[in-house]
Amino acid sequence: MSTKNNRDGMSRRDFLRITATAGVGLAIGATGMAAMENTIAPEAPAGAGNEPQEERIPMYGEHQAGIITPQQRYMYLASFRITAEDRAGLTSLLRSWTKFCDLSTAGGTMKTGSNPLLPPDDTGETLDLPASGLTVTFGFGPTLFSADGKDRFGIAGKMPRFLKDIPRMPKDNLDPLLSGGDICIQVCAEDQQVAFHAVRNFIRLATGSATVNWMQEGFISGGSSGQTPRNLFGFKDGTANGLHQTEQGYKDVIWAGDDEPAWMKGGTYMAYRKVRMLLEIWDRASLSDQEDTFGRYKESGASYGRKGEFDEADPSKMPATAHVRLAKEAGRLIHRRGYSYSDGIDPRTGNVNAGLLFISFQKNPEEQLVPMLKLMQSKDALNEYTSHVASGLFACPGGLREGQYIGQSLLES
Ligand SMILES: C=CC1=C(C)c2cc3[nH]c(cc4nc(cc5[nH]c(cc1n2)c(C)c5CCC(=O)O)C(CCC(=O)O)=C4C)c(C)c3C=C
Ligand SMILES: [Fe+2]
């Protein structure tokens, strides 16, 4: 796609580069920061500018996209309550959502419409934007299968083996209005407006068939440059995913087993915890307390007693309550794909309302995730600085072939 602007002869990319550089100079001048000791010069990763992201991530395949896909910068998570009264209503919604996915992940939009007396078919905010690595991942919650003892859609007999709410943990501070749901959609993209457009249109297309329970937005840094993103405590977060990132590793850790209903073939379970991070308390903790909390060094991300971020961790070198040591003691791996969030300021306290939208994928949440969560809730040094405020567990069906709709293998098998 050409980015030349004919009026001033400068490409959109050149313009962004020049203004970005000028902006840095102005900011330094304005604050009078002549002495720059104690700083770390950032290494500019190649291609990490503001270029439009043409990348299209195929939505068809053995697995849904957005699970082992390298993390895009922006994420929306939206949970829906299905109001359609029967299976035909649910099927029709899933068909129209799938059609929209097919179009938008390829960088297309619906027609704006030819009848000026009707609302346009597309909301329009991505008309000039490329696909931007958009992915959409669907998960089905326990209540889709059975709610209040009712089998609303005739699928109660096809419930996957481990689909139930994550058990309540002693330190939980969960808001039921921000937890659970019949269907959860994870939307990720390199451009926030592309991701927003998708989630907004899922909501719009659901009119009359589903209502939104809650929606969260998240962001990360660095992912596309190949570096591990840092969370809002300033630590590299996601390093240990490297332990299972092979085809066999994914099979062992993520993809549902053969003992699941057929529609879960190539699927997995998505766990969600919204974890508020108490930034003001954390920022007053010493560097050594911060590092002891994780058992890793802040700058390098290396685990205690090691030099490189990816050197094998030795839990015996970490304090007994270190987060990473406890994760290791739980003895199982999970695939984490979390995003930071910021919900502005808590007006009652003036504190920043921010944290981690913890998302993990695993084949058996009962064996892989729940024991880890229990161990962490009882001992984790991180508990002093965090509070779990929302939760959810969803079964993600396997991937689609062109022409199929999401959930077809569940509803029509
Ligand atoms: C029960 C699962 C987990 C929750 C909840 C959780 C919350 C949470 N984690 C961080 C920051 C870090 N976590 C790190 C590693 C790590 N965390 C979990 C699990 C949960 N974290 C696992 C399984 C691991 C990997 C352990 C290992 O095998 O080495 C790290 C270290 C770097 C890394 O590997 O990613 C950080 C940092 C926060 C801030 C948080 C809640 C707000
Ligand atoms: Fe963690």
Number of separate domains in the chain: 1
Residue 276 in any domain: the answer is: yes
CA distance linking residue 195 with residue 190, whole number of Å:
8
234 Rama sector, left if φ>0, alpha if ψ -120 to 50, beta otherwise: left
Residue 147's nearest CA partner among 90, 87, 81 is 81
CA of 389 to the centre of ligand 2 (A): 16
Q: Is the CB of 330 under 6 A from ligand 1?
A: no
Residue 62 in any domain: the answer is: no
CA of 344 to the centre of ligand 2 (A): 23
Q: Is the CB of 57 under 6 A from ligand 1?
A: no
Residue 163 in any domain: the answer is: yes
Which pLDDT tens digit goes with each residue over 220-243? Answer: 997 556 799 999 999 999 999 999
CA distance linking residue 343 with residue 357, whole number of Å:
12
- Write down the pTM of the prediction: 0.89
CA of 249 to the centre of ligand 2 (A): 19
> pLDDT value at position 8?
28
The predicted complex's ipTM stands at 0.99
What whole-number percentage of the chain has pLDDT above 90?
A: 82
Q: Is the CB of 136 under 6 A from ligand 1?
A: no
Q: Which of 169, 216, 336 to mutate to test the pocket of ligand 1 (most atoms within 8 A of CB)?
A: 336
CA of 304 to the centre of ligand 1 (A): 15
223 with 133: CB under 8 angstroms?
no
Residue 325's nearest CA partner among 333, 334, 316, 335 is 316
> pLDDT value at position 20?
34
Q: Is the CB of 355 under 6 A from ligand 1?
A: yes
| β pairing state of 268-277 and 135-140 | unpaired
Q: Is the CB of 294 under 6 A from ligand 1?
A: yes
* Largest Cα span, the chain: 70
Ligand closest to the CA atom of residue 275: 1
CA distance linking residue 384 with residue 241, whole number of Å:
25
Is the pLDDT reported for residue 125 higher than 80? yes
- Token pair for residue 86? 């029967």
Q: Is the CB of 236 under 6 A from ligand 1?
A: yes
211 with 332: CB under 8 angstroms?
no
CA of 324 to the centre of ligand 2 (A): 7
Q: Is the CB of 238 under 6 A from ligand 1?
A: yes
Which pLDDT tens digit goes with each residue over 265-275? Answer: 999 999 999 99
User: Residues 6 or more apart from 109 whose CB is under 8 A from it?
Assistant: 103, 122, 124, 126, 127
The parent domain of residue 264 ranges over: 74-109+121-411
Which pLDDT tens digit goes with each residue over 108-119? Answer: 988 777 889 998
Span 81-110, average pLDDT: 96
> pLDDT value at position 45?
43
Q: How far is CA 73 from the centre of its chain?
A: 9
> pLDDT value at position 223?
55
336 with 327: CB under 8 angstroms?
no
Residue 167 in any domain: the answer is: yes
